[in-house]
Amino acid sequence: MPQGVPAVVPDDGLTTRQRRNRPLLIVHTGVQKGKSTAAFGLGLRGWNQGWDIAVFQFVKSAKWRVGEEAAYKALGQLHADTGQGGPVEWHKMGEGWSWSRKQGSDEDHAAAARDGWAEIKQRLADQRHDLYILDEFTYPMKWGWVDVEDVVETLTGRPGHQHVVITGRDAAPALVEAADLVTEMTKIKHPMDAGQKGQRGIEW
């Protein structure tokens, strides 16, 4: 795809503009770090275009903090105060989903994951956001907490112009097949190989 020119132009009856502006289902998977980082970077581009951004973190621990969370919330406040960029929402399963006001618990992660997915399905049906970042969402599917077939059917049939990015290792083959853009982060080298632990500003 040199200089952004596609190698093949399909005979699909769409104009170049229509084809360019199709909503995308994007998957970042693989064993190496950088999957969420890339998704959040994409979100920054979307925010700059005025998109409505919603992040859903499917993490089990309320203690898990990423640096992007504070930055995204600050950008959401900047939009609210000045109109710059777009609105931002950040929801985390381990804290108890913010719309339900339930305290995060270690007792039933599967139920919490299903609640999160149910909320996302409703928002997709309502066309609430321009970009959904479903961080670490491959794991609820891998562990059987959320039905892969339901996810694929919902995402491929979503209405309107809604982009969706899913991150996490071991993406289900059916999800990979359905996605428009799939990136696998492969490990070549990692500081941990030399005994170095994660550090501030790099891992969080």
**Using 50, 70 and 90 to split pLDDT, how confident is the model at 14?**
low
Average per-residue pLDDT for the chain: 89
Distances (CA, A) of 31 to 34, 57, 85, 185, 189: 9, 18, 33, 6, 11
CA atoms within 13 A of residue 183's CA, in its CB half-sphere: 15
**Using 50, 70 and 90 to split pLDDT, how confident is the model at 1?**
very low
Q: State yes or no: pLDDT of 138 exceeds 70.
A: yes
What's the pTM?
Answer: 0.89
Cβ atoms of 166 and 87 closer than 8 Å: no
Identify the pLDDT of residue 147: 98
| For residues 89-98, average pLDDT | 88
Q: State yes or no: pLDDT of 105 exceeds 70.
A: no
Gap between the Cα atoms of 193 and 191, Å rounded: 5
Alpha helices in 11-108 (DSSP H): 16-20, 35-48, 67-82
CA atoms within 13 A of residue 163's CA, in its CB half-sphere: 21
> Domains in the chain and their CATH numbers?
22-186 (3.40.50.300)
Which of 6 and 171 is assigned the larger pLDDT? 171
**Using 50, 70 and 90 to split pLDDT, how confident is the model at 72?**
very high
